[in-house]
Amino acid sequence: MSESTHRKVKTALDETRLLILGAQILLGFHLNGAFQAGFADLSAVSRAFHSAAFFAMAAAVGLLITPSLEHLIVERGRSTARILGLTTCLAGLALLPMGLSLGVDLSIVLSYRFGTYVGLTVGMVASALSLVFWYGTEFLLRKPDKGELVMDERTSIDIRVEHMLTEARVLLPGAQALFGFQMAVLLTESFEALPASSKFLHAVALCCIALAIILLMAPAAFHRITFRGENTEYFHRIGSRFVIASAIPLAAGITADLYVAVTKALNSATAGVVFATATAALLVTLWFVRPLMHRNSIDKAGHA
């Protein structure tokens, strides 16, 4: 496989990181918005759409992070045609819930301040524009596929370490943004009115995201302090394990706070459980079950 293919994988990961930067703002808004003073004045329909949009953004974040974990778990950091295609596919899928959530969020906040007509109009236009510029134009200008690339079994350690550190940067922004919104929620008056169970779960979610941030920053510290910037197989294994492990508390933190926000928004613990359970199932399947099953099938095929 040519050096250009390695650059394509790196570019795909960087583009995923760019999309995460946009997704993190909407994800944090849904958590923080449920605790604002004006949220109680929203209609039941608006609160329901707010909850649905929160789930949509959690799904988008799940899709955007999946290629990084697949790359580490299944491909072990190698540049392959499969990971390049998967990154392209999942990034494209993630744009759909992001575009719809963007329109819903604009509709909710503008309807609250400027009336339902203005809110609905701007929200629908925003979603339509996002779909046009994120899908329509791209498909019109898309070049024909020149053929499938083959798997590279000889990806150098320097490239694999570079990819691993990039994948840590893919996960880190979402965790950092959510952590900031979580701490801000603790200072709102609405938080004091929550039931004890929701307060406890939010505290657990806060600690989970803090742990995820610590784990995601650890590879850089190891690389600089322990290995003095040298790229080795041992460092790649350590760093990869830290990045993979960070996804566990990250998924737990997103799921727990989605329960807290949806329960408050809809005044229904049952709805919170349903949304949180669906989110947990989606993230665990995308981040762990699917990659591990695929790696197991590859390992079995290799030993056959």
138-194 residue pLDDT tens: 677 666 655 544 445 567 888 889 889 989 988 887 788 889 899 999 988 899 899
Per-residue model confidence as pLDDT tens digits over 87-118: 989 999 999 999 999 999 999 999 998 999 99
The count of domains in the chain is 1
Average pLDDT for 298-304 = 71
Q: Write the CA distances from 164 to 71, 130, 160, 215, integer angstroms.
A: 9, 30, 6, 13
Q: For residues 236 and 156, what is the distance between their CA atoms, to the nearest angstrom?
A: 11
Q: Which residue has the higher pLDDT, 141 or 41?
A: 41
Burial tier of 171 (Cβ tally within 10 Å: 0-12, 13-18, 19+)? buried
pLDDT of residue 304: 58
Q: Following DSSP, what letter does each residue of the chain receive, concatenated? A: --HHHHHHHHHHHHHHHHHHHHHHHHHHHHHHHTTSGGGGGS-HHHHHHHHHHHHHHHHHHHHHHHHHHHHHHTSTT---HHHHHHHHHHHHHHHHHHHHHHHHHHHHHHHHHH-HHHHHHHHHHHHHHHHIIIIIHHHHHPPPP--PPPPPS---HHHHHHHHHHHHHHHHHHHHHHHHHHHHHHTSHHHHTS-HHHHHHHHHHHHHHHHHHHHHHHHHHIIIIISTT---HHHHHHHHHHHHHHHHHHHHHHHHHHHHHHHHHHT-HHHHHHHHHHHHHHHHIIIIIHHHHHHHHHHHHHH-
Residue 4's pLDDT band, with cuts at 50, 70 and 90, is low
Residue 51's pLDDT band, with cuts at 50, 70 and 90, is very high
pLDDT of residue 19: 87
pTM of the model: 0.88
pLDDT at 2 over 60: no
pLDDT at 55 over 60: yes
Helical pair 233-266 and 269-284, crossing angle rounded to 10 deg: 160
Q: What is the mean pLDDT of the chain?
A: 88
pLDDT of residue 239: 94
204 contacts 146 by C-beta, under 8 angstroms: no
Range of the domain at 210: 3-303
Q: For residues 168 and 238, what is the distance between their CA atoms, to the nearest angstrom?
A: 13
